[in-house]
Amino acid sequence: MRRATAVTGTVLTVGALLVLAPVGLTPRGCGDLSGGRLCIEGPVGGAGPFTVRYVQYKGHPDVAVRLGYQRKDDRITAFPGWLGTRQTRHGRAELTGRLDTAPGECIRGVMEHRDRTYVTEWHCS
């Protein structure tokens, strides 16, 4: 009886881990959307190139997206700055621009598609 209880307890514990484990962790600077993942990468808190990237999940047709960023600090949240519009090719669109961000500032990726706006989580220095 003791061995059966131990085996049952182990199976239940492993089963609970499989059920509770996240499907996939969203990387810092990214946001998961219903059709794909939107990300922004760059040196937050300094100057340098920032890349906004949209990668569609498999099975979605290529679409035109407007890519940009939004900045905020402890006083103000700015309007989006747009890098341009791109057609996804093989499910991927990205644009890069140079920004100078201050220490303590936050930035997030922004995407427009069919008059809807999508954003990532804030990425702060």
Instruction: Give 33-98 as a DSSP string.
Output: -SSEEEEEES-TTSEEEEEEEEEEPTTPPP-EEEEEEEEE-SS-BPPPEEEEEEE-BTTEEEEEEE
Least confident of 13-22, 84-93, 98-107: 13-22
- State how far the Cα of 48 lies from the Cα of 72, in Å rounded to an integer: 17
Quick: pLDDT tens for 31-68.
Answer: 898 899 999 999 999 999 999 999 999 988 999 999 99
- State how far the Cα of 39 lies from the Cα of 43, in Å rounded to an integer: 14
Nearest CA to 29 out of 106, 113, 84 is that of 106
